[in-house]
């Protein structure tokens, strides 16, 4: 799967760890007439009972010893600053900070000068999953590390070997030379409920064995970071140093690895994300067995189905993954997937948003055969696809940032000339010569090539006019611009 965007908008995602913040309940007291005082006390007591917090101290005592602090040192190549810019207001404000490497990625690089190697340091968290020293953490914690040191809660320190890491899922596996170590118990992500209390232990800003708590905000959250992880969203207080730490449920089981935050500043702003433990364990098993990770690949570019696109394709509700293009020779191509198909489920798992598809495929193994329920030309169909290997290709999602509004179509079209068709790589299509009204507001530009309308390939203007006349609320144009293909919905007046 491939993510392409004509005008992408990105969240600012800071790689950090996830602590969790818990809110204390506040009870409002009201004066009650004496005749009703007893009933009021009884009601207040009953209402307070379900609000009791879980015993976080028990979870911490049982699992804290299996959580470790990770320190890394390494080198990075950078350009030496000209002498005139050293010191003063142009000096790097994070140069002497232990979290320099974390904050450095958000700062513009120095300009000019000769490349040189600079020492870097960083800190993170991790947790022991086997008594012989296997540790899970984030891949970004140990990226470019020359030396990795693991410190236990009893203050023993070990030099760790990085057995392997997977940038796509942000999971890394470490090994220390030790025996009879304390370990965590892992849970099942399908048992985790939105609104459930969760607890994190880590080392934010180097403060080792810090415990924080909060609730699960959402599950299966996809992020615009070219990953294929169905993240657990929590309201955790996440800061540098928590990365790679465990997220526990109230039974003391690890359900995730704290990994990312949404932030405009680089610090905690109330949204944090954890990698589901079942995905992390699958990555761990592959790394321990082979030293590398293989991800499955379908071979399509997909995009979100909004209400306008749902109306165009006559879907009852806006859900699924719309296929914007199919890679030639890919598993999707061999299975018969076509541009304009909407993938609604994989092996019975419903695709609510387009980001669900790469997350589901990432949990599969190359060579697996999956059943795809698709919507094609107003009818449901089922096809099977044998998944390939992703290699170094990141599974991503096409994004449609164009906004459609009311109005007439507003397009002046003409057929492709032979030389244009050869340049575009499409035998048929219509060139947009001018645009106005609803098409302009939807983001269509002169020079765009219209390849299909509502999933039907178009050859001439009359065909487009006929399809538009039969459409009720909107039409979906498959356009090609600068080699990228994407469906753009246009509302009809």
Per-residue pLDDT tens over the stretch 354-394: 888 888 887 788 999 999 999 998 999 999 999 998 763 44
Residue 261, CA atoms < 13 Å, CB-side half-sphere = 26
Same domain membership, residue 301 and residue 275: no
Same domain membership, residue 260 and residue 131: yes
Residue 202, CA atoms < 13 Å, CB-side half-sphere = 38
Q: What is the pLDDT of residue 115?
A: 58
Residue 466, domain CATH: 2.30.42.10
Would you say residue 12 lies in a domain?
yes
Same domain membership, residue 327 and residue 384: yes
- What torsion, rounded to 10 degrees, do the Cα atoms 240, 245, 247, 253 define? -170
Same domain membership, residue 8 and residue 134: yes
Q: What is the DSSP string of 66-108?
A: GEEEEEEEEEEEEEPPPGGGSSGGGS-TTTT-TTHHHHHTTSP
Per-residue pLDDT tens over the stretch 396-445: 444 443 333 333 578 888 888 877 777 778 778 888 888 888 888 888 98
Same domain membership, residue 206 and residue 59: yes
Per-residue pLDDT tens over the stretch 262-302: 877 777 777 899 999 999 999 999 999 999 888 899 999 88
**Comparison of pLDDT for 6 and 390, the residue scoring more:** 390
Would you say residue 164 lies in a domain?
yes
Same domain membership, residue 429 and residue 374: no
Q: How many CB atoms lie within 10 A of CB 245?
A: 36
Same domain membership, residue 425 and residue 383: no
Q: What is the pLDDT of residue 105?
A: 42
Would you say residue 104 lies in a domain?
no
Q: What is the DSSP letter of 239?
A: -
68-79 average pLDDT score: 81
Rounded CA-CA distance 336/329 in Å is 10
Known catalytic residues?
140, 170, 243
Q: What is the pLDDT of residue 108?
A: 46
Q: What is the value of pTM for the model shown? A: 0.67
Same domain membership, residue 315 and residue 418: no
Q: Which helix (H) or strand (E) holds 259?
A: strand 253-262
**Comparison of pLDDT for 420 and 319, the residue scoring more:** 319
* 47 has a pLDDT exceeding 80: no
Same domain membership, residue 369 and residue 283: no
* Boundary (domain end) residue, out of 259, 293, 327: 293
Q: What is the SS3 assignment for 344-369?
A: EEECCEECCCCCHHHHHHHCCCCCCE
Q: What is the pLDDT of residue 277?
A: 96
- Burial class from Cβ neighbours inside 10 Å (0-12, 13-18, 19+) for residue 423 reads exposed
Rounded CA-CA distance 12/17 in Å is 15
Residue 244, domain CATH: 2.40.10.120
Would you say residue 78 lies in a domain?
no
Of the chain, the end-to-end C-alpha distance in Å amounts to 34
* Boundary (domain end) residue, out of 293, 326, 349: 293
Tokens representing residue 124 in the block: 């993170």
Which residues make Cβ contacts (< 8 Å) with residue 25, sequence separation at least 6? 51
Would you say residue 398 lies in a domain?
no
Would you say residue 116 lies in a domain?
no
Q: Which helix (H) or strand (E) holds 219?
A: strand 210-221
Same domain membership, residue 134 and residue 252: yes
* Range from 6-15, 64-73, 352-361, 474-483 carrying the lowest mean pLDDT: 6-15
Would you say residue 30 lies in a domain?
no
Same domain membership, residue 366 and residue 444: no
Range of the domain at 267: 1-22+54-67+127-140+160-293
Closest C-alpha among 181, 190, 158, 134 to residue 363: 190
Total of domains in the chain:
3
Same domain membership, residue 454 and residue 367: no
Would you say residue 82 lies in a domain?
no
* Boundary (domain end) residue, out of 293, 326, 351: 293
């Amino acid at each position: 799967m491939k993510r392409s965007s004509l005008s992408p908008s990105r969240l600012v995602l800071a790689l950090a760890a996830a602590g969790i913040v818990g809110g204390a309940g506040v009870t409002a007291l009201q004066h009650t007439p004496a005749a009703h005082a007893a009933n009021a006390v009884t009601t207040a007591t009953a209402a307070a009972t379900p609000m009791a917090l879980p015993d976080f101290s028990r979870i911490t005592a049982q699992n804290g010893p299996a959580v470790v602090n990770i320190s890394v040192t390494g080198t990075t190549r950078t350009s030496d600053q000209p002498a005139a810019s050293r010191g003063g207001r142009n000096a790097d404000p994070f140069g002497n900070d232990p979290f320099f490497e974390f904050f450095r990625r958000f700062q513009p690089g120095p300009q000019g000068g000769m490349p040189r190697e600079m020492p870097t340091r960083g800190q993170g968290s991790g947790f022991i999953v086997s008594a012989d020293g296997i540790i899970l953490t984030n891949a970004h914690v140990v990226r470019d590390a020359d030396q990795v040191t693991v410190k236990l809660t009893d203050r023993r320190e070990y030099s760790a070997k990085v057995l392997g890491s997977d940038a796509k899922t942000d999971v890394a596996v470490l090994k220390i030379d030790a025996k009879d170590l304390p370990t965590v118990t892992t849970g099942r992500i399908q048992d985790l409920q939105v609104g459930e209390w969760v607890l994190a232990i880590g080392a934010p800003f180097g403060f080792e064995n810090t415990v924080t708590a909060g609730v699960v905000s959402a599950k299966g959250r996809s992020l615009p970071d070219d990953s294929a992880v169905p993240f657990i969203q929590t309201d955790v207080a996440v800061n540098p140093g928590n990365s790679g730490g465990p997220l526990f449920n109230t039974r003391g089981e690890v359900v995730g690895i704290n990994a990312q935050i949404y932030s405009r500043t680089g610090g905690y702003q109330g949204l944090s994300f954890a990698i589901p433990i079942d995905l992390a364990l699958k990555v761990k098993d592959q790394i321990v067995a082979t030293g590398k990770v293989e991800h499955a690949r379908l071979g399509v570019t997909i995009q979100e189905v909004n209400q306008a696109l749902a109306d165009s394709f006559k879907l009852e509700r806006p859900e699924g993954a719309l296929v914007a293009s199919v890679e030639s020779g890919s598993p999707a191509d061999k299975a018969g997937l076509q541009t304009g198909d909407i993938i609604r489920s994989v092996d019975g798992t419903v695709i609510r948003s387009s980001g669900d598809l790469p997350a589901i495929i990432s949990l599969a193994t190359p060579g697996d055969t999956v059943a795809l329920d698709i919507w094609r030309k107003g009818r449901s169909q089922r096809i099977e696809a044998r998944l390939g290997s992703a290699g170094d290709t990141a599974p991503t999602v096409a994004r449609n940032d164009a906004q459609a509004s009311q109005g007439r179509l507003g397009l002046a079209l003409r057929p492709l000339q032979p030389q244009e068709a050869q340049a575009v790589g499409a035998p048929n299509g219509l060139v947009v010569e001018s645009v106005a009204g609803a098409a302009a507001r939807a983001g269509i530009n002169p020079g765009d090539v219209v390849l299909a309308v509502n999933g039907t390939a178009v050859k001439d203007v009359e065909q487009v006019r006929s399809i538009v006349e039969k459409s009720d609320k909107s039409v979906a144009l498959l356009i090609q611009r600068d080699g990228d293909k994407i469906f753009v919905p246009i509302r009809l007046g």
